[in-house]
Structure 1
Amino acid sequence: MKRTEPSRTTESTRGQAHVLEGVVAALLILTSVIFALQVTAVTPLTASTANQHLQTQGAGTVSGLLVAAEDRGTLRDTVLYWNESASRFHKSGAEEQYTDSIPTEFGSTLESTVSPKGLIYNVNVLSVNTAGQVVEHQMLHQGQPSDQAVSITRSVTVYDDDRLRDVNESQIDQTVSNSTGYFASEVSEGPLYNVVRIEVVVWRV
């Protein structure tokens, strides 16, 4: 009986199939290696992503806190918490700033809200001087912000007849327009004294 030889077409088809299988196998191996490397690389980034998420949550909390403090007047009390005789905020240190927390109702609320989240924060007060330049006064300084720090601000309009606060946050007779050492300058001839911006910078170490 005469044996039928396999056709060249069949051999060619089988050869192409083997080549294709080899390519697919190589791609599977390559994909597996890449996937394994990606899984390994995700590990150190996970903490960073979690930290950023936590800071973003903290920023949202601080934003709401600033709005509430403005409505209650405690943000204004803090801006006016000025010791005229010492030319600094009441109970602030030798460098005219706080290093732990601000001893006002707003400061206490901020501390009890932010610190339990594992976040560190600074508080700056910014105003415009008579030359139109922005002047920053560091009210609370807890450290150097990280690259992922988030900044939240809220403005307080200060008027000529706004009274300074004593150490207990009670109004005194002296107004900001009669103050000689207040941190913000008077920039208007009308009833407006200045617009002070409170900046809270939060981050996680």
Structure 2
Amino acid sequence: MRSLSMPNLGKDQDAQMHTLEAIMAATIMVAILIFAVQATALTPLTSSTANAHIESQMYVIGQDMLTALDHAPYDQNSDLKEAIIEWNGEMYVWNGTHYQSDYNKSNSLDGSVVDMLEFVAVKNGIAHNIEFMYNDEDSTNTEAYIFSGQPSDNAVIVSRKVLLSNSDIVNSTSYEATTDIPDIDTTTALYNIVDVKLTLWRM
């Protein structure tokens, strides 16, 4: 009679243990790899994410500034509209203490727009330009109101349209000669629409 050989249970158990260890090691490595990829993509310390966060913050700040400046009680002009109406056509630059005319150094800018910029932008090291865009008969023109230099690559731009009526302008001939902003429709009460463009960036 042929004798039956008993299986080697010890070797089978060793093989199962090695297989289990390999599976566990592979699972751990995959988990570590997934964690590393997610951490690299989502950490706020990466340059692109940090820049996007800063740009988003500045965009909200710019929107809030223009919204606040363009708010007005019933039957009154907003601070933003008053700044456009009272503008003398000159470009102003921050000289460390106040906004000074680039054309006439003895002229300085004041008012609610200046107060807002000093409180929000200047104190927080945010460079800023303000431009007035308006239409004439043939094209759209842009004039600098406040200029702090060429914006960086991470600059944000917010804008607000302000409607000027004939009743807002005391002397349309003098105003156009000073600012170059014309009356685009002499047959209606509309004088012009000025698009106020605010550009913000970190210095």
TM-score calculated relative to the size of structure 2: 0.69
1:64 aligns with 2:64: yes
Does the residue aligned with 1:188 lie in a helix, a strand or coil? coil
1:158 aligns with 2:164: yes
Greater relative contact order (CA < 8 Å, ≥ 6 in sequence): 1
Kept after mapping to 1: 8 A contact 2:128/2:199: yes
Q: Please report the RMSD computed on the Cα atoms of aligned residues, expressed in angstroms.
A: 3.6
The corresponding residue for 1:147 is: 153
1:169-191 alpha-carbon deviations (Å, 9 max, x no partner): xxxxx523443242322211222
The corresponding residue for 1:92 is: 101
Does the residue aligned with 1:88 lie in a helix, a strand or coil? coil
The corresponding residue for 2:112 is: 105
The corresponding residue for 2:201 is: 203
The corresponding residue for 1:187 is: 184
1:81-121 alpha-carbon deviations (Å, 9 max, x no partner): 333xxx536852139xx9xx953321222221223333222
Number of matched residues? 183
Counterpart CA distance in 2 for 1:135 and 1:115 is: 27
Counterpart CA distance in 2 for 1:121 and 1:175 is: 31
Does the residue aligned with 2:149 lie in a helix, a strand or coil? coil
The corresponding residue for 1:80 is: 85
Does the residue aligned with 1:22 lie in a helix, a strand or coil? helix
Amino acid of the structure 2 residue aligned with 1:138: A
- How far residue 39 of structure 1 moved from its aligned partner, in angstroms, is 4.9
Aligned pair in 2 of structure 1 residues 37, 191: CA closer, same or farther (>3 Å)? closer
The corresponding residue for 2:125 is: 118
1:142-164 alpha-carbon deviations (Å, 9 max, x no partner): 1332333222211111123423x
Does the residue aligned with 2:193 lie in a helix, a strand or coil? strand
The percent identity for this pair of structures is 25
1:176 aligns with 2:172: yes
Q: Which runs of 5+ in 1 are unaligned?
A: 164-173
Aligned to 1:4, which of 3, 6, 29? 6
Aligned pair in 2 of structure 1 residues 109, 43: CA closer, same or farther (>3 Å)? closer
Counterpart CA distance in 2 for 1:38 and 1:70 is: 43
Counterpart CA distance in 2 for 1:102 and 1:154 is: 20
Counterpart CA distance in 2 for 1:14 and 1:185 is: 92
The corresponding residue for 2:142 is: 136
The corresponding residue for 2:19 is: 19
- How far residue 78 of structure 1 moved from its aligned partner, in angstroms, is 1.2
Name whichever of 146-155 and 20-29 sits farther off: 20-29
1:127-148 alpha-carbon deviations (Å, 9 max, x no partner): 11211x2212122221332333
TM-score calculated relative to the size of structure 1: 0.68
Amino acid of the structure 1 residue aligned with 2:144: Q
